[in-house]
Amino acid sequence: MTAVDDAALLGHARTALAARLDAPTLRRSPASLAAITHRGAVIAASAHGEPRRDGAPTTPGTIFRIASMSKSFLAATALSLRDEGLLDLHAPAAE
């Protein structure tokens, strides 16, 4: 991509991200944070809401508790390894 293409991509990414975060379904949530990356760098980030009890606004640097979501990440990783033939879900755990 050229610098002009990169600038156009950045503008489009920011517009698309802002439009998505303004969607009514996300506005009903206490807080939302989203980012778009390109070539390993964050090119657009946006946040809304007040997830903290002290009323501090959500920013791209806000840290969220993920509670029980780590189970979903583990399951997705295990299924990816299975799909690559690197994990047998029916093998004993000792193997």
Q: Look at the pTM and tell me if it is higher than 0.85.
A: no
Q: What is the pLDDT of residues 15-39, one digit of tens each?
A: 887 777 766 666 667 787 888 887 8
Tens digit of pLDDT for each residue in 70-92?
Answer: 899 999 999 999 999 999 999 99
pLDDT of 45 strictly over 90: no
C-alpha distances in Å from residue 63, one per residue of 13, 34, 60: 23, 12, 9
What is residue 25's predicted lDDT score, i.e. its pLDDT? 64
Q: Where are the domains of the chain?
A: 3-62, 65-95
Residue 84: the pLDDT is 97
- DSSP per-residue codes, 2-18: -HHHHHHHHHHHHHHHH
Higher pLDDT, 43 or 86: 86
